[in-house]
Structure 1
Amino acid sequence: MEKTARDVRDMAYAPYSNFKVGAAIRGESGTIYGGCNVENIAYPEGTCAEAGAIAAMVAAGETRLTEVYVVADSPVPVTPCGGCRQKLSEFGTGDVMVTLANLDGAVEKMTLAQLLPGAFGDHHMEKT
């Protein structure tokens, strides 16, 4: 997971922020999918690394993730943005482990439920 996230981070297209992020997610099959952030001159209309990894997983035919790894060149490990937290929770359960890391080796771990408490889910869509 770490190698995939670091390798794909190097491919990020971040000419405006110069803040490259790499993400790797493991699908239920065990396959690891990578994604990097891709900025756009119409900032902030870019794509986050986590969203790219999810798209790669879905394009491969999987819809469940079992592990997440996010890495960026930041003083402390960076968390996914709010939108990506919701995207991750769409495809993973609350107990999925999320590893946050920086290039200097600092690592933090938390579950999706800790990352996004009270996540909006399909149970909110049920009518009583």
Structure 2
Amino acid sequence: MAKLKALFLWGWNWVLWFWRIISRPSAYLSLGFLTIGGFICGVLFWGGFNTALEVTNTEKFCTSCHEMRDNVYQELTQTVHFSNRSGVRATCPDCHVPHEWTDKIARKMQASKEVWGKIFGTISTRQKFLDHRLELA
């Protein structure tokens, strides 16, 4: 308990120190430099965020965990969505990720529940997957 309290106090002192640094006016850097630097950092953050968002919208990412690869993906390979006369395949994000940006972000936040299930083994076996299938759908 004492270690936890010490860790909390260290973290709180760090937050206070950081707040004191960023809340004071800059003595050495101009407002223009800080504005341009903030803009560049914002563009880099937005680019990285969008890149990560697009990477998580691929079938390769969807089937990267064994729960999806061993259960749902195997079922998909047997359907017309996977192989049909026209040769056009439907991938996971086509149906399971909304196309509007705000809806997509909301769905990604909901998907954090699935990550939680992955970490704690909620659907680690075929039987567990079948038991939770309706709430996952």
TM-score range, shorter-chain basis? under 0.3
Task: Give the TM-score normalised by structure 2.
Answer: 0.20
Higher relative contact order (CA 8 A, sep 6+): 1
Task: Indicate the structure with greater strand content.
Answer: 1
Larger radius of gyration: 2
